[in-house]
Amino acid sequence: MNEQAILNYQRIAEAIEFIQENYKNQPTLDQIAKKINLSPFHFQRLFTEWAGVSPKKFLQFISVHHAKQILGTHQSTLFDAAIETGLSGTGRLHDLFVNIEGMTPGEYKNKGENLTINYSFGESPFGKLLVASTSKGICYMGFSDDSEIAFSELNNRFQNAKFILQSDAIQENALKIYTEDWTEIDKIKLHLKGTDFQLKVWEALLAIPTGKLSTYGKLAKKIDNPKAARAVGTAIGSNPIAFLIPCHRVIKATGAFGGYMWGKTRKAAIIGWEKAIEK
């Protein structure tokens, strides 16, 4: 992804933020285009190239009304969907290929001591990101437009680890998730530092199908702890793997999108983008 693509996402993000703030008024194409200083023609073309759908359709995807509709119809799990569609239909169900392995108690307690972590900076449809890996799998993936801030977040999670600025096959495989053809991605392994409860919540997030949404309460029930919605929210907020562990698919019961570690606008962009590419 080149600098122009990054600039395009920045424009798209500004448009999405405007849509979010004004969706009740159903802003017109002209109004949104004017907000980001583009002609309606160029904005329509730019947005459609990025999202695969028109701005009007995308607005529907990220409206509260539509979010409520998705929540109301979301009954089946990812695995149910995979069975229904058959193996040939799992290209969009990338979560099936993500496997979580928790770090050992020693690694957890010692904050990454004796761990060697490779990290590199990449690009996605939603801006720049940092991706890091151990010999066992991806241990961190986060969006950030500032490289120093991104590394600081990684370092805070593994204060005693050895860091090497280096891309590897594990990272390159994981970054393929941002393409629209997911059929050639090898199984993505995650090597995560978390409590048993956090790991359980993160695994439950993987059961939310692409293009669908859930709530904190529903997720708490999913892990057989219906009174733990607040604790579930805290665990979601600690998720160290952006997009691959889809914490962006959890919203409030009211249909409002709620917070996101990497920004509310980015969360809306991902939700709309996933719905747009859902086949």
Q: Are residues 210 and 268 in the same domain?
A: yes
Annotated catalytic residue, options 12, 247, 268, 269: 247
Residue 62 within a domain: no
- What does pTM read for this prediction? 0.82
Q: Are residues 44 and 78 in the same domain?
A: no
Sheet order of strands, 188-192 included: 98-102, 188-192, 138-143, 127-133, 116-124, 162-165
pLDDT of residue 93: 42
Q: Which two tokens stand for residue 137?
A: 């799998």
Let me know: does 138 contact 120? Beta carbons within 8 Å.
no
- 201: closest CA among 182, 227, 224, 183? 224
Residue 58 within a domain: no
Q: Are residues 141 and 171 in the same domain?
A: yes
- 135: closest CA among 173, 99, 172, 169? 169
Segments in the chain below pLDDT 70 = 1-5, 64-97, 180-184, 278-279
Active-site residue, 139 included: no
Q: Are residues 39 and 158 in the same domain?
A: no
Q: Are residues 93 and 191 in the same domain?
A: yes
pLDDT digits (tens, 9 = 90+) for 263-278: 999 999 998 888 887 6
Residue 61 within a domain: no
pLDDT of residue 84: 37
Q: Are residues 29 and 132 in the same domain?
A: no
pLDDT of residue 234: 94
Q: Are residues 40 and 166 in the same domain?
A: no
pLDDT digits (tens, 9 = 90+) for 74-123: 444 444 444 333 333 334 444 446 888 888 888 878 888 889 999 999 98
CATH of the domain at 264: 1.10.10.10
Helix axes of 3-22 and 264-277: crossing angle, nearest 10 degrees: 100
Residue 59 within a domain: no
Using DSSP, state whether 147 is helix, strand or coil. helix
Q: Are residues 14 and 87 in the same domain?
A: no
Domain count, the chain: 2
pLDDT of residue 72: 61
Rg (C-alpha) for the chain, rounded Å, is 19
CA 198 to chain centre: 17
Q: Are residues 155 and 23 in the same domain?
A: no
Specify which residues 99 forms β-bridges with.
Answer: 189
Residue 111 belongs to what domain range? 69-277
Tokens 């708490």 appear where?
A: 220
pLDDT of residue 71: 63
Residue 64 within a domain: no
Q: Are residues 263 and 208 in the same domain?
A: yes
Q: Are residues 40 and 172 in the same domain?
A: no
